[in-house]
Every structure is written in C-alpha cells, then in structure tokens.
Structure 1
C-alpha cells in the first residue's frame, strides 16, 4: 500500500504523522470493503452468464475466450438500454479516476526529476506552464499508444496482464521497501542500487521463462513478485555495509 503513488499523495496531504496513520487505517478498511464488493459483483456476473447460457466472448485475433469482454457483452446485448448507459458512465468514470492521477504523477515526476522545474525561480511563468502542458499531452499520447499496443498484442485478460507486469515492476520496489523497513544496521552503496533493481527482474524473467525445464513443468504466476522482491532484497543485502550514525535509516 505504501508503495502506491496515489496513496502516498493522500498521506502527504496529512498535517501530522498521526493523521497519516489514521488515514492509512481508514483507507485500508474502505479499500477492503470496495474490493469485496467488486469481487462479489464479478462473481455474480459469471453466475448470471452461466444461468442464462451466455458464453465468454472470443478474442478476435486469437480466438481464445476474453473475460474482459463478458461485462460489455452482457450490458449491451443481454440487458436493456439503461444498464448499458450506466455501464458506459461507470467505465468512463473509473477510467478518468485512474488515468488523471497517473498522468499527473508522470508529469510531475518528469518536470521535477528531469527538467528540474522545482529549482526554477519563477516556476509559474508562461514558458514553464507551456512546458508542463506539453509534457502532460506527451504522456497522454504515450499512454494511448501503450494502450493500443497492449490491446493488439495481449490475448489474456487485462487483470492478468497487470499482475504479470506488476511482478516485474513492483518487485524491486518491494525489495527496496522491505530492506529500508527491516534492515536498520546497514546501508547500501547507492551506485549499485540501479544495477540490482535491473538485475533482479531480469533473473525473475529468466526463471519464469525456463521454469518448466527447471522445476518439473511448474509455471510461476503471481508468486513472481515475491521472487523478484526477494532477489532485490538479497542483492541489496550483498552490496550493503554497516551503517554509521550519519547513514543509519
């Protein structure tokens, strides 16, 4: 939870540590209830499809079942007009709710980390504002291209794809977070950290690609993120050194 950009932004808006902790507890409870609700809705959707003889639509390219298409299939072809409109509105609202925060985070990170706009004496002048707008538009177009590529290349559900990508991208974050949280007596050599964060996902990918040959036809799935995070943690521990008073976390 603490690694998520949007959640961290919510915590940073709190005035004190106590308020941030309260925010984490409250949000975790709400988030749990929301997930249970949506999981229940998904289960009911499949029960409705099975009861009414509605099969999962096939992917136009691969011919394989595409579970992402079941919801729109039911909404547009097996329900009345009102549920279809509600489906479109809900899908649009959910898309904007997640996309705008991601675009804002990408724009802010690029402008601060790469363009050093936070160090400008007049960050709100016309040139800087135009630059931020162009960066925002650029990331919007890039996201559109990525979405189209994923749509044409992915034959599985979007949720499965997200978990696959997260196994490689969030693994180093998990390892870094765990090392900083649990290892209090050591510090790392900063120049080696990027190498570890690239090497760990690479090894994880190789393990995933050759898991059938190495582990008797066993195929890794969601547990790849644990392997990735563990390799990152191990790599950080190897390159670490005893912490002093000035380097202790």
Structure 2
C-alpha cells in the first residue's frame, strides 16, 4: 500500500474527528470538559470503553506477543474482568457518594493535603508514562509503514499528532472524548475481524478452518499452572486484577468516563457490561495473533526483529487492501482516541488537584488550555526518551512500568478503605517514593533473597504492600489527618 493512500486514509479519519469535536463541543463549559455534565448514556460509555480497554497496545502488541508467550495473556484478561467488578462494587459507590470530579480528592478528605498531592502526583507520573507508551506504539507503526518512506523524522510525526489531538480536545474535553471512543471501538474491532478473514483468504481456508489450526497449536495454551513460571495462572490473574483496580479504578483518565454517567447504577451497568465483553474481545485479538503467526509459518516468512512489527507488516504488505485499509484506520483511531483521553485526564487531575479548579476556585479556561498543551509537550518528550531506550515488547514494558508507578496509589487507597487510621500527613510523600525504590531492589535481587524466585508482573502487589506497610508505620489512632511537628 502506497504512502499516499495511507495519508489519505489518516486524513479522512482526522477530518471525522474534527466533525465530531465540532458538534460535541459547541456549547462546552467547564462541567462538560470535566464530566460531560454527568449526563452521558451508560451504553454509549460502555461501548466506547471497549476500545479504551483494548487500546492501541492491545491492537498492536498483543497479536505480536503471541509469538513470545502464546495465549497466556488471557490469564491477565481474566484478572482484568475481575478487577472491574471490584471497581464497580467498591470504588464507584465511594466516588459517587462524594460527588468527586478528581478521584484523588478522596485522599484529602481521608488523610490530608500532602497525601492528596502524593496520590495525584503518582497518577500524573503513571498516566504520563502510560499515555506515552500507547502513543509511542501508534507513532512507531505509522513511521514504519508510511513516514519513513516520506523521509519524515519520527519526532515530527509525534509532534504533529499531538498538536492535532490538542486542537480538537482543548475545548470539549471528556464530552468530545466519549464520542471519539465510540469511533475507536468500532474501527479496532472491524480491523481485527477483517484481519482474521484476510489471513484465512490468503491461505485458501475458511475462517473456521483457520481457527481450528490456530487453537490446536501449542501457541493456544491458555493456562499455565507451574508456580515457577512467570506465566503462572494465579500470578497473572492477581496481577491483572490489581492492574485494573489501579489503572481503571484509581486512574482519573479512565474513572472520569465512568463518572459521566447520571447515576451510580448506570455506571455499574456500564462496568459490568464492559467486564464481560472484554473477555470476548481479547480472545478475538489473541485469535488474530495466532492467525498471523500461523500465516508466517505457512508462507515461509521470517518473523520481524520486534514482535510489535508482526501485525503492521503483514496487514500492509501481505494480506490485501481490505486488511491494510482497516488496519490503517484502526491504528489511527487507537492513536488519537487513546491520547485524547489521556490528555483530558491529565489536565483534569492537574487543574482540580493542584490548581483547585471546581473545588476551591473558579475554573480558568485559558490556564486549562495551557495545562492541556503542557502535557502534550511532556508526552512528546517522554516518547522520544522511550524510543531511545526500548528493547522489548511494548505491552511487556507497559505492564512492568505500571507496576512501579501505580503501586503507591494501590497502597494509599487500600489503607484508606481498609483501616480507620489516620497518618502523619507530611511523611506520606516519603513513603510513596520509597516503596517503588524498595520494590525495584527486591525485583533485582529476588533470586538471591528468595531461593531462586523471580518477580514478574506481580511486583505491583509488592509495591502496594510496601506502601501500605509504610503508612502503618506513620499511622495514628485518631482516624484523621495529623501533622508531624
């Protein structure tokens, strides 16, 4: 597929986004930007959240990761679904009862200002890294299939992408993002279905015949029971639960969408529906990965050096126009929808938690837009750093980094909800910084300290427990925030 055709497809999708942005933000105000006036229909939110849940990382990296770890990723997905249930039953009622805009204001009510700022700061760090990983992967693929041929530098690709996103979200905020999520979900699912069909067609098989071959292969092993394996069922399910609780329930950018529903019941229906559909959708992408791997074997092709290149290379160069076109639109949808959601969440957390908008003082639209722009620039710089140091699958790196960045949030909210203790508020930042450092040291020397045991993705549990233990050490029995003299 020629670069010119790809550019036309991407331009058409961007034009569609701007049409959606225009109609969704015509009467936008601060309430629309932060929570869409708390009037979003839950089926619309739930459908759009499917695309957010699978994201660009799932779209690109999961099919390629099948080459490395087979279908074992599905064990994480089971954990994701269970984690969403926890979010619906425990966290949503808390946030709706307090009518929060930023979920980290709970920490201020429970413990004090330093704890509030610590939680919000770790969200900003964690989500900045997560957003950068997602957009990096999208930009990397676009660079590989089109912009390298046009001799456009990677940095220019990322910069233009971010500026386009800033332009269409800086006014409408979450109200615009809800509708762009619907586009993302539609095109990502269409691309996966067409991709499987294209592989079957290329191998002169029916889709059912292709899937019989895929699911009979060693790659299709879903469950691993050996305790020493990093793919052990219980390790991955627990890790998936914790990752979902922190990266969904304790993540402002994601929870902000759930809070746009008019009532707690609507928000819970949204999440329950999402948790069930998530299982089927991830099986679809694993089946796509297995199909692509089977195609490589049958066609006698060489695997790319990085598994993230598997789906883009085959879709654009080997599987025909239908697969190529839906892939290009899918990757554009994933890139823009993922980043616009992240920018809105980061802006909301900073404006509400650090500037006090909507809680302590009136919102300033000009400052809000500058903050929005500032986070766009930070994501741009983070992506360039990640490109320079990355040497593994993006989804593997994303999950590992999330374990370190989200661990303190897990510990803070768990301590607040499971105990009646207060804390010495000024000491909380030290606890939150120390826990990830100790976790890193434990991971590095675990084989020596624990008789050969090696930590994997479950490091998030260790991180959260260390944060919880640190809060116990600085706790007090008054059950309210106190200051350390």
Q: So what's the TM-score if we normalise by structure 1?
A: 0.83
Distance 2:382 2:451 in 1: 35
Cα gap change, 1:139/1:84 in structure 2, threshold over 3 Å: closer, same or farther? same
- What are the ranges of 5 or more consecutive residues in structure 2 without an aligned counterpart? 1-244
Question: Would you say 1:143 and 2:390 are equivalent positions?
Answer: no
Q: Deviations over 1:1-20 (max 9, x none)?
A: 32233431133223333333
Question: Would you say 1:28 and 2:275 are equivalent positions?
Answer: yes
Matching residue of 1:18: 265
Matching residue of 2:465: 230
Stretch deviating more after TM superposition (220-229 or 8-17): 8-17
Q: 1:49 aligns with which of 260, 282, 296?
A: 296
Stretch deviating more after TM superposition (143-152 or 106-115): 106-115
Q: 2:409 aligns with which of 142, 151, 173?
A: 173
Question: Would you say 1:211 and 2:458 are equivalent positions?
Answer: no
Question: Would you say 1:75 and 2:311 are equivalent positions?
Answer: no
- How many residue pairs get aligned? The number is 233
Distance 1:112 1:203 in 2: 31
Q: 2:366 aligns with which of 126, 130, 147?
A: 130
Distance 1:90 1:114 in 2: 35
Stretch deviating more after TM superposition (172-181 or 67-76): 172-181
Cα gap change, 1:217/1:19 in structure 2, threshold over 3 Å: closer, same or farther? same
Cα distance, 1:216 vs structure 2: 4.5
Cα gap change, 1:111/1:103 in structure 2, threshold over 3 Å: closer, same or farther? same
Cα distance, 1:197 vs structure 2: 1.0
Q: Deviations over 1:95-126 (max 9, x none)?
A: 112110100111222233333444444x3xxx
Q: Deviations over 1:146-185 (max 9, x none)?
A: 11221221000110110111110111112222222322x3
Cα distance, 1:243 vs structure 2: 4.3
Greater helix proportion: 2
Q: 2:353 aligns with which of 97, 113, 116?
A: 113
Distance 1:150 1:115 in 2: 29
Q: 1:164 aligns with which of 385, 400, 403?
A: 400
Q: Deviations over 1:169-208 (max 9, x none)?
A: 111112222222322x323222222211111101001112
Cα distance, 1:130 vs structure 2: 3.2
Question: Would you say 1:191 and 2:431 are equivalent positions?
Answer: no
Checking the alignment, whether the CA contact within 8 Å between 2:253 and 2:346 is kept in structure 1 is no
Question: Would you say 1:91 and 2:327 are equivalent positions?
Answer: no
Checking the alignment, whether the CA contact within 8 Å between 2:407 and 2:461 is kept in structure 1 is yes
Distance 2:386 2:433 in 1: 23
Cα distance, 1:69 vs structure 2: 0.9
CA RMSD of aligned residues (A): 2.3
- What are the ranges of 5 or more consecutive residues in structure 1 without an aligned counterpart? 59-65
Deviating beyond 6 angstroms after TM superposition, the runs of 4 or more aligned structure 1 residues are none
Q: So what's the TM-score if we normalise by structure 2?
A: 0.45
